[in-house]
Amino acid sequence: MKWITLIGDATLTLNRIKDMKHTGAIRAYDVESDRYCVEYNNGHIFYDFDNDLSDWHDDLKNLPFKANCCIMMVYTNAQNVRTELLQPDFPQVIYVDNDHGTILPLKEYIAVGMPMDE
């Protein structure tokens, strides 16, 4: 599995993800209370919510907001992730960690081409 992580404040919730329009999705559903799945014809994305930010301890002080949660997007097709990130109703006040040393605000992450494992 491949993943990127969304780091956000208290407004980043699974309910916010559930309320989004998931363009091209064929099905979306709760897997567990902290895991939501969006399925496409060519793959899926799991949204895994967590309050444990210990992996980003050194990076949190550089964020312009008080981060208190993260959502890992575990995916099988990078294009589906890019489609989600570009949705107008996708949370905007977040940072994206692509698990390869890049932690950027969402707008900057999109501007550099959304690098992630293909």
Comparing CA positions, the residue from 102, 83, 89 lying closest to residue 4 is 102
Residue 116 counted as domain residue:
no
Structural domain span for residue 71: 2-111
Number of domains in the chain: 1
Task: Give pLDDT tens digits for 61-73.
Answer: 888 888 889 999 9
Residue 106 sits in a domain whose CATH number is 3.30.310
Residue 98 counted as domain residue:
yes
In contact, 56 and 7? CB cutoff 8 Å: yes
Residue 118 counted as domain residue:
no
Look at residue 59 and tell me whether its pLDDT is greater than 90. no
Amino acid 30: pLDDT: 98
Residue 117 counted as domain residue:
no
- Per-residue CA distances from 95 to 40, 42, 108, 114 (Å): 25, 26, 9, 12
Reported confidence tier of residue 90, pLDDT bands at 50, 70, 90:
very high
